[in-house]
């Protein structure tokens, strides 16, 4: 009972914090997008794909290894070994981040000339290397806090990180926004590096204070290093492949779009519209489940270590039931109110068609994130990575062969194939490990019907607000309220039916 309370408390803390930060982050990204334009956002997104690849090398699954080992050791009350594992993971992350920085430094000229068509120099890519050690060490420390049930410390450091990112980026853009796309990208990346430094510093202070009672000067055993290596190595190798393919995919998109008849500038703008403006909006509501789902890694690690297999199945059932009801509602919001959201967020209808078109994928994206974290918790990280690699390989093939003929339609097709394939393979993998069950009518078909009914009711209510934002919020609020009422009435009706029979 106490563990369940700790899990829920940590989940609520992370959810509220992440909701607050994602909200501010989304508003900030919208402000930046409106200020610098879709081409600059597209170029920045391409550079960020290099950044993400560098982060993959710098972290190399060490944070996941730390989470898994510390969860397992603390569940067995072997605290000293857990702390030793964390220290070793930190040293590994420092070494890997330096290697990653060197690779990025050497590859920067080629990336700038060949992949970015010399639209920017190597300088923005060089700046990436500065933040890698901070990110790598923070990932290990956050893994430790998640394992020991002190996620609130990570939440505090993330809040500081977001605050510093906004302040630093606004100051840098003030001086550089008129100097062109390259200086805009440098400002955005440097703002991120500065924020990572502050987050790392706070994380380090929290960590050193927390482990004082566990301090032990004996060196980590060779066996512990082997365990870290055995967990992180397969994750690292598959992560490198996955992240490398992901970066290749991102750079291929504008290049192949250009071959469909667009100019490179227009292709980057279209890429920036989808990846920099539409997808962040669609993924925003995932914060409600993302925080809890990240806690599923240590939670399922503990359940697996204690061999509570029935409990694992029960938790899966409850999570998927709640996730289905929530995700279908969010899908309905994006699908039915795409015009209102585009006007309220970007003051134009440019993003509306893409929001409506990609809205059905929201359910699959959100639930797939939950499945991946459960699989990581039961030590199936490699399976998750192989699934992602398969997904990326097929998506790259579509982008390479289909996009030059179909243009932006081909790119949209690749997104659909990617998300549906990833979801299908992941859910089959989980089904083979944990025998959960969801009633498709109760938790999929009926919620869709409830969404349609809620929308028709909302449409018949007259709204007369001068502000598009207020009107949009009211419409969505009524839609969600009607949806919740319908679901609750159905649940009560079924419960009464069970009591009678």
Q: Where are the domains of the chain?
A: 2-438
**Rounded CA gap, 463 and 443, in Å?**
31
Q: Quick check: 157 and 199 in contact, CB under 8 A?
A: yes
13-58 confidence digits (pLDDT tens)? 666 666 677 677 777 877 888 788 878 888 888 898 889 889 988 8
What residue spans of 218-286 are helical by DSSP H? 222-259, 264-272, 279-284
Residue 478 above 90 pLDDT?
Answer: yes
Q: Note the pLDDT of residue 8.
A: 56
Q: Note the pLDDT of residue 223.
A: 66
Long-range contacts of 171-174 (CB under 8 A, 24+ apart): 173/32, 173/35, 173/36
**Rounded CA gap, 261 and 422, in Å?**
30
Q: What is the mean pLDDT of residues 134-148?
A: 86
Token pair belonging to 103: 């690779």
Nearest to 135 by CA among 230, 206, 51, 72: 51
Token pair belonging to 190: 């440097």
Token pair belonging to 136: 């790598």
CA distances from 215 to 83, 202, 226, 274, 480 (A): 8, 19, 22, 49, 50
Q: What is the mean pLDDT of residues 385-405?
A: 89
Report the alpha-carbon angle 488-492-497, nearest 5. 150
- Helix axis angle for 446-459 and 309-336, nearest 10°, is 30
Q: Quick check: 215 and 59 in contact, CB under 8 A?
A: no
Q: Note the pLDDT of residue 291.
A: 63
Q: What is the mean pLDDT of residues 423-442?
A: 85
Q: What is the mean pLDDT of residues 289-296?
A: 68
Q: Note the pLDDT of residue 228.
A: 72
With 0-12 / 13-18 / 19 or more C-beta atoms within 10 angstroms meaning exposed / middle / buried, residue 106 is exposed
Nearest to 377 by CA among 80, 75, 134: 75
Residue 421 above 80 pLDDT?
Answer: yes
In percent, the amount of the chain with pLDDT more than 90 equals 32
Residue 372 above 50 pLDDT?
Answer: yes
- CA 328 remoteness from chain centre: 19
Look at phi and psi of residue 217 and say left if phi exceeds 0, alpha if psi is from -120 to 50, else beta. Answer: alpha
Q: What is the DSSP string of 125-185?
A: HHHHHHHHHHHHHHHHHHHHHHHTT-HHHHHHHHHHHHHHHHHHHHHHHHHHGGG-HHHHH
Q: Note the pLDDT of residue 86.
A: 86
CA distances from 376 to 231, 370, 373 (A): 11, 10, 5
Note if the pTM is more than 0.85: no
**Rounded CA gap, 258 and 66, in Å?**
43
Q: What is the mean pLDDT of residues 248-269?
A: 89
Residue 321 above 90 pLDDT?
Answer: no
- CA 77 remoteness from chain centre: 32
**If you average pLDDT over every residue of the chain, what do you get?**
84
- CA 440 remoteness from chain centre: 26
Q: Note the pLDDT of residue 11.
A: 56
Q: Quick check: 324 and 444 in contact, CB under 8 A?
A: yes
Q: Note the pLDDT of residue 218.
A: 47
94-109 confidence digits (pLDDT tens)? 999 999 999 999 999 9
CA distances from 190 to 74, 168, 381 (A): 38, 8, 32
Token pair belonging to 416: 């659909």
Q: Note the pLDDT of residue 219.
A: 46
What are the φ and ψ backbone dihedral angles of 288, each rounded to 5 degrees?
A: -65, -30
Residue 442 above 90 pLDDT?
Answer: no
């Amino acid at each position: 009972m106490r563990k369940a309370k700790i899990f829920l408390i940590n989940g609520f803390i992370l959810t509220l914090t992440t909701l607050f930060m994602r909200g501010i982050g989304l508003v900030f990204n919208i402000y930046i997008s409106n200020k610098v334009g879709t081409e600059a956002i597209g170029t920045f997104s391409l550079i960020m794909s290099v950044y993400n690849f560098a982060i993959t090398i710098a972290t190399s699954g060490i944070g996941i290894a730390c989470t898994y080992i510390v969860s397992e050791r603390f569940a067995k009350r072997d605290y000293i070994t857990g702390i030793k594992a964390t220290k070793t993971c930190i040293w590994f992350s420092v070494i890997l981040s330096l290697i990653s920085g060197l690779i990025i430094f050497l590859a920067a000229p080629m990336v700038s000339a060949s992949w970015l068509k010399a639209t920017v120099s190597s300088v923005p890519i060089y700046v990436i290397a500065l933040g890698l050690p901070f990110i790598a060490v923070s990932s290990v420390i956050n893994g430790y806090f998640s394992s020991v049930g002190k996620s609130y410390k990570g939440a505090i450091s993330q809040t500081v990180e977001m605050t510093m990112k906004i302040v630093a980026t606004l100051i840098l853009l003030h001086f550089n926004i008129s100097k062109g796309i390259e200086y805009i990208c440098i400002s955005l990346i440097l703002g991120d590096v500065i924020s990572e430094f502050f987050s790392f510093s706070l994380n380090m202070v929290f960590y050193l204070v927390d482990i004082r009672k566990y301090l032990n000067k004996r060196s980590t055993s060779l066996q512990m290093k082997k365990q870290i290596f055995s967990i992180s190595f397969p994750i690292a190798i598959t992560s490198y492949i996955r992240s490398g393919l992901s970066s290749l995919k991102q750079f291929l998109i504008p290049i192949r779009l250009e071959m469909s008849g667009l100019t490179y500038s227009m292709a980057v703008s279209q890429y920036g519209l989808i990846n920099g403006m539409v997808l962040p909006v669609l993924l925003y509501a995932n914060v409600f489940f993302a925080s809890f789902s990240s806690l599923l890694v240590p939670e399922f690690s503990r359940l697996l270590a204690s061999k509570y297999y029935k409990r694992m199945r029960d938790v899966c059932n409850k999570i998927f039931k709640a996730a289905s009801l929530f995700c279908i509602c969010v899908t309905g919001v994006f699908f039915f109110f795409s015009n209102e959201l585009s006007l309220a967020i970007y003051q134009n209808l440019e993003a509306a068609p893409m929001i409506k078109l990609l809205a059905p994928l929201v359910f699959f994206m959100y639930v797939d994130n939950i499945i991946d974290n459960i699989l990581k918790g039961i030590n199936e990280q490699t399976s998750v990575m192989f699934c992602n690699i398969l997904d990326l390989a097929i998506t790259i093939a579509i982008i390479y062969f289909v996009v030059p003929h179909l243009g932006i339609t081909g790119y949209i097709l690749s997104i659909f194939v990617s998300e549906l394939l990833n979801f299908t393979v992941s859910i089959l993998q989980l089904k083979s490990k944990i025998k959960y069950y969801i009633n498709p009518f109760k938790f999929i078909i009926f919620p869709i019907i409830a969404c349609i009914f809620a929308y028709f009711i909302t449409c018949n209510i007259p709204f007369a607000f001068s502000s598009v934002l207020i009107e949009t919020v009211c419409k969505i609020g009524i839609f969600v309220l009607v949806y919740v009422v319908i679901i609750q009435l159905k649940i009560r009706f079924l419960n009464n039916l069970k009591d009678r029979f």
